[in-house]
């Protein structure tokens, strides 16, 4: 980087560093704003889903499931089942009824 500015312990023209800092902050803030918009959009989609009679919680669960590493999911399931079995809560055939 040709503009190696503001390194600790080196004297520099502060103005340049400040401009650069302004740029950094600007870009981050813009990105965060955009991000907030996306989050709002997601919310809206779920709200619309709810309005159309969908069970939002279930839809969220689906999205989460799909985004999950299948291996991790399997592992979590295994632990859960192990605990259930340990407690005599048989993960029985009824599950698929």
Residues that bind DNA (CB under 7 A): 36, 39, 42-43, 46, 56-57, 60, 64, 67
Rounded to 5°, the CA angle 82-66-70 comes to: 45
Pattern of binders to a second copy over 27-46, x per CB under 8 A?
A: xxx-xx-xx--xx-xx--xx
Q: Residue 73 CB, nearest distance to DNA (Å)? A: 11
Least CB distance from residue 26 to a second copy, whole Å?
A: 9
CB 78 within 8 A of CB 85: no
């Amino acid at each position: 980087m040709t503009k190696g500015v503001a390194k600790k312990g080196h004297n520099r023209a502060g103005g340049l560093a400040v401009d650069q800092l302004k740029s950094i902050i600007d870009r981050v803030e813009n990105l965060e704003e955009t991000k907030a918009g996306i989050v709002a959009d997601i919310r809206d989609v779920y709200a619309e889903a709810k309005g159309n009679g969908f069970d939002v919680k279930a839809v969220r669960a689906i999205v989460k499931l799909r985004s999950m590493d299948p291996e991790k999911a399997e592992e979590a399931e295994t632990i859960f089942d192990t605990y259930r079995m340990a407690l005599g809560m048989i993960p029985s055939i009824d599950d698929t009824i």
